[in-house]
Amino acid sequence: MDFIERRLSRPGDRLGEGASLAALALSACVLGAAGPAQAVDFTVSNGADSGPGTYRNAVNQSNAAPGTDRIVFAVPTVTINNGFTVTDNTQIGVTGQPVTISGTGTQVFGFGTTSTIGSNVTIRSASQFPALPTAVALLGSSTLFMDGKIIPASGNGIDVQGSNTRLFLGPTSLIETGPTGTGITSIGTSGLLVSLIGGTIHSGNVGINLPTANAGMSGGVIEAGNIGVLLGPGSTWTTGLLGGRITGGATA
């Protein structure tokens, strides 16, 4: 079972000072899945940007359907040349064949959603928005469990906006950016929680840039050409029982 299948049932919870991220991961597993018993599968059978059977069409159908749905890929490659927003709880690539998503389109996870990116998914798309140079964006009060790979052609890996947003990186996750990109960055959010249970962030510039957040790692690796972890005055960083490794150092 992918790490991202795990759910937290209380979105208001925050990582307490000195708390172990390993304990947080265990709590997420014990509390179980938040979705309904019957999820609907939307299959991607067309690798084009739009039209029947495409990824965009599957997202639109999932957005319109109640409950937590799954998007399953039956093609090895997908192109998105315009961004779109996931507005409902969605599991992407948790089952099905491996897929690479490329093109120029930011995938946005909308307000209040709880979504997953499975280990079958590799995202290589770059943003077409100059003001939002990122492959994946999270809006306020959203939660993303990520076990896939984000390797954008340009720009940042994940951009976090809004308050009370949660991002969890699982053991097989990978975020890899170019020489000017940042792995994970946020825009002055409050109540933000970023947790590395494992996986790797490899950035040519900054691994994680968090002006205001509760963040930390209980495993995994952060490798950066410039700074591993860049924290603002309102941020906290916790290292859990399993530790982890940071190359490039951490500054606050």
Between 160 and 2, name the one with better pLDDT: 160
The answer to the question of residue 229 being in a domain is yes
Instruction: Give the global pTM.
Output: 0.82
For residue 52, how many other CB atoms are within 10 A of its CB? 8
Residue 28 has pLDDT above 70, yes or no: no
In a domain, 166, yes or no: yes
Of residues 239, 226, 217, 220, the one with CA closest to residue 182: 226
- Tell me, yes or no, whether 35 lies in a domain: no
Asked if the structure places residue 196 within a domain, the reply is yes
Tell me how many domains the chain contains.
1
Summary mean pLDDT of the chain = 82
Tell me the mean pLDDT in the region 108-126. Answer: 94
Residue 6 has pLDDT above 60, yes or no: no
Angle at alpha carbon of residue 237, lines to 208 and 228, rounded to 5°: 30
For 73-103, write each residue's pLDDT tens digit.
999 999 999 889 999 999 999 999 999 999 9
Mean pLDDT, rounded, for 10-15: 36
Q: What is the pLDDT of residues 167-195, one digit of tens each?
A: 999 999 999 999 989 999 987 667 788 88
Answer whether residue 41 is part of any domain: no
Banded pLDDT at 71 (limits 50, 70, 90): very high
Q: Is residue 4 domain-resident?
A: no
Host domain of residue 158 = 22-29+82-251
* Dihedral sign for Cα atoms in the order 231, 233, 235, 238: positive
Give pLDDT, residue 72.
97
CA–CA separation, 60 and 57 (whole Å) = 5
pLDDT given for residue 241 in this prediction = 55
Domain membership flag for residue 10: no
Torsion of CA 42, 48, 50, 53, to 10 degrees: -30
* Spatial distance between the Cα atoms of 177 and 143, rounded to a whole number of angstroms: 22
